[in-house]
Amino acid sequence: MKAAVLREVGKPFTIEEVEVDNPGPREVLVRTAFAGLCHSDMHFQEGLYPCATPIVLGHEGAGIVEAVGSDVGYVQPGDHVITCVSIFCGQCKQCLSGNPHRCSKEGVTRTASDPPRLRQPGGDMHQFMELSCFGEQMLVHENAVVKITKDIPLDRAALIGCGVTTGVGAVLNTAKVGPGSTVAVVGCGGIGLNALQGARLAGAERIIAVDRIASKLELAGRFGATDVVDASNGDPVAQVQELTGGGVDYSFEAIGLKETAEQCFAMLAPGGTATVIGMIPLGTKIELHGVDLLSEKKIQGSNMGSNRFRTDMPTYIQLYLQGRLELDQLLSQHLQLDEINEGFEAIKGGEVARSVLVMEA
């Protein structure tokens, strides 16, 4: 198959031929239809997070099952599926306590003694997060996919694989925002826009979008924002506090920066909760004013929207089909595989919500 390969951290992707192994007993071979470009992939490409190379990145994908292993009973060839990094074993403490997104993943990955899922003549090819969506095929454990209805276009379905689940889930599952709440979302990219519509689904009364780019603030209104704050026009914390008369009940950091995480905490009302969704670079420390803790303000992280993806993703699909979840305007552009480097450059420019690679013939 053709795949976008990262051979060296900090360098562009190259399009190469990569061999895919046959499915093991509990593995599924998926023909990738679409793969979303996410900031998280860019963090690994740029070295903000470590990864072994050469590697096929990509973790937000949707496709059609081509083949299944001997012990697979959940899907069959022809099924439409979404992949997810929250692969679960179903037997560890986290899975059994209702937190499969924190699974230790024992028994759902290939071991060092097993043949690699991906390889090239003369050497192995590393698989990213047990998925590697930037290839024409994905060989994954069956617990890395969710079977979906064929009523939803697969390019829209791919967005649910990470961006939607992460943003909406952070609001509904991690923070558990309730009706009548006040919410601020800092960063209106793909994740932030989904946090906004998550707040709308939760029944928040006031939803404030914070960004520096006018086009993103305009788009935020279509995803549920009742107010917008242009962070380039002054201190966003002061602006949010002025709008709300003292701060918000919930804030969400959707960029992955020390400064914006601290701002999210600072814009809380007493008893408020700040949730950091963005991937803050390794080694970065967040600084808070200790006295604010006396007001029972809290800060927490969110991993993939605290999802239970085999139930959450079908729900999001139904909300989309009912017209209650926006996906069409989230999709900024379709790109061919060999346009992947241009796609990530567009993300750096900040003008796109989500781009997807067209992998199907």
Q: Which residues are catalytic?
A: 38, 40, 43, 59, 162
Q: Mean pLDDT, to the nearest integer, of 6-28?
A: 97
Percent of the chain as helix, strand, coil, to the nearest 5: 35, 25, 40
pTM of the model as a whole: 0.96
Residues above pLDDT 90, as percent of the chain? 93
Give 145's contacts (C-beta < 8 A, 6+ positions apart). 28, 30, 65, 74, 75, 81, 82, 83, 84
Mean pLDDT rounded to a whole number for the chain: 96
| Residue 124: predicted pLDDT | 85
CATH of 167-303, one of 3.40.50.720, 3.30.565.10, 2.60.40.680, 3.60.21.10: 3.40.50.720
∠ Cα 325 336 196 (to 5°): 20
29: left (phi over 0), alpha (psi -120 to 50) or beta: beta
Q: CATH for 2-148+330-358?
A: 3.90.180.10
Asked if residues 27 and 72 have their Cβ atoms less than 8 Å apart, the reply is: yes
| Residue 122: predicted pLDDT | 81
Q: Mean pLDDT, to the nearest integer, of 136-140?
A: 98
pLDDT tens, position by position, 234-262: 999 999 999 999 999 999 999 999 999 99
Q: Is residue 348 scored above 90 in pLDDT?
A: no
Q: Is residue 313 helix, strand or coil?
A: helix
Q: Can you tell me the distance from the alpha carbon of 262 to that of 331, in angstroms, rounded to the nearest whole number?
A: 30
Spell out the domain ranges in the chain.
2-148+330-358, 167-303
Give 132's contacts (C-beta < 8 A, 6+ positions apart). 3, 55, 56, 57, 58, 118, 138
| Residue 53: predicted pLDDT | 96
Q: Can you tell me the distance from the alpha carbon of 202 to that of 196, in angstroms, rounded to the nearest whole number?
A: 10
Q: Mean pLDDT, to the nearest integer, of 311-327?
A: 98
| Residue 361: predicted pLDDT | 54
Q: Can you tell me the distance from the alpha carbon of 164 to that of 191, in angstroms, rounded to the nearest whole number?
A: 7
Within 10 angstroms of residue 212's Cβ, the number of other Cβ atoms is 15
pLDDT tens, position by position, 98-133: 999 999 998 899 988 999 999 999 888 999 999 999
| Residue 341: predicted pLDDT | 96
pLDDT tens, position by position, 285-294: 999 999 999 9
Q: What kind and span of H or E run contains 158? A: helix 154-159
Q: Mean pLDDT, to the nearest integer, of 180-199?
A: 97
